[in-house]
Amino acid sequence: MMENLNINELLDANRGKDRYIAPDFYGIDDLLSDEHKLIRQSVRDWVKKDLSPIIEHFAQKSEFPRHIVKQLGEIGAFGPQLPAKYGCGGMDYTTYGIIMQELERCDSGIRSTASVQGSLVMYPIYKFGSEEQKMKYLPKLASGDMLGCFGLTEPDHGSNPSGMTTHFEDKGDHYLLNGAKMWISNAPFADVAVVWAKDEAGKIKGLIVERGYEGFTTPETHGKWSLRASATGELVFNNVKVPKENLLPGVEGLKGPLTCLNSARYGISWGALGAAMDCYDTAVRYSKERIQFGKPIGGFQLQQKKLAEMLTEITKAQLLVWRLGQLMDAGKATPAQISMAKRNNVEIALNVAREGRQMLGGMGITGEFPMMRHMMNLESVVTYEGTHDIHLLILGMEITGENAFN
């Protein structure tokens, strides 16, 4: 635990400092419903009140703010796009994207917590689980009474998950699970893990593994310079007995985890844009307040070029995710369209964060401003959920019909 930490003191000291105003140069808000805007406002208000005041402290300490899990449940950030019948939001994919944007506007690590829970833990249970599994896990995951994680990546299999070696055997009344997963968001604190492993026939299947099963451990990964407010760890399975009713019955093969990734990558395309919007907003404000050579730095052409290019890229990215949200809601979005949005929006966000950080000069490297934290966070976002290059290859295959992965 963090030493001498009093969260209330932190909240009192920093409330009111977050002056974020979202850029909307093309009036894209007009394309959203009143309900979308209402939900966005309530998440934005929560972020300003309860998250912005504490985030820098937790990121600097490299500690996950565990107390916010319940709050994220209360604001509806876990599985807003899944049916209300299971305690979820019953809303559309555009709403889900908007919520991810508001969270990542503050910190990618917090959006990670929410998108893993909603898209990578709740979604597979909803899509591929039995009715009993849905009733058992979804309401508690939606409310934040339970935290989940998603185990696909292994030490020797990252971009090529089909090569995974984690496996399970049928032992009659249970499955025996062995292997290890690496780089798993939420792992150190997760109550439950959705784990992808091969059966004796080499088919990939999903298993729900609960904390407390003998032989299951979740060591934390330390020393990250990125996503420091998000907990990352391993999942180690040493002869873990998994009850048979914990197998996800509705899918086999790599398309299981990849279907979940479609939903999570979609959320990231909105989320990373939120980080870009926050950096832009900060850079504009700073450019008007910082005086050098007798005038605000925003009065110099070179700084105006940076701001104009940032806003142009942000506006294009806003249009991209708005349209992708429509396609998702119509059930028409293709994996390649999602790859394009994830790849583009993370790239523009990284560029905006880097340019914005320079505009703040020395102040840009401090925790007084969010630039450096966003920039370092985005170095993970450009790698996870499929690297920048993997998404390019997915697009390349869509265009040419040729597989350039192997």
Residue 186's H or E segment, with its range, is: none
SS3 assignment, position 143: helix
Instruction: Please tell me the distance from the alpha carbon of residue 58 to that of residue 78, in angstroms, as a whole number.
Output: 21
In the region spanning residues 243 to 262, those forming contacts with ligand TGC, defined by CB under 6 A, are: 253-255, 258-259, 261-262
Instruction: Please tell me the distance from the alpha carbon of residue 117 to that of residue 143, in angstroms, as a whole number.
Output: 11
Q: Which is nearer to ligand TGC, 281 or 385 (CB)?
A: 385
By CB under 6 A, is residue 314 in contact with ligand FAD?
A: no
Query: In a 10 Å sphere around its CB, with 0-12 CB exposed, 13-18 middle and 19+ buried, how is residue 5 labelled?
Result: middle
Query: CB under 6 A: which stretch of 82-90, 209-217, 297-305, 385-393 binds ligand FAD?
Result: 385-393
Q: Which is nearer to ligand TGC, 153 or 303 (CB)?
A: 153
Among 52, 185, 263, 337, binds ligand TGC (CB under 6 A): 185
Among 54, 98, 194, 227, binds ligand FAD (CB under 6 A): 227
Tokens, residue 110 = 């917090």
Paired with 169 in beta bridges are 176
Binding mask 366-385 for ligand TGC (x = CB under 6 A): ------------------xx
SS3 assignment, position 6: coil
Query: CB under 6 A: which stretch of 24-32, 93-101, 149-157, 343-351 binds ligand FAD?
Result: 149-157
Indicate which residue of 102, 234, 347, 385 is catalytic: 385
Binding mask 153-182 for ligand TGC (x = CB under 6 A): x-----x-xx--------------------
By CB under 6 A, is residue 197 in contact with ligand FAD?
A: no
Instruction: Measure Cα distances from 218 to 151, 213, 235, 370 in Å.
Output: 11, 12, 5, 30
The entry of ligand TGC, ligand FAD, none that residue 33 binds, CB within 5 to 8 Å by partner kind: none
Instruction: Please tell me the distance from the alpha carbon of residue 71 to that of residue 62, in angstroms, as a whole number.
Output: 20
Instruction: Please tell me the distance from the alpha carbon of residue 397 to that of residue 42, in angstroms, as a whole number.
Output: 41
Contact positions toward ligand FAD, by CB under 6 A? 116, 149-153, 158-159, 183-185, 227, 232, 380, 383-385, 387, 389-390, 393, 405
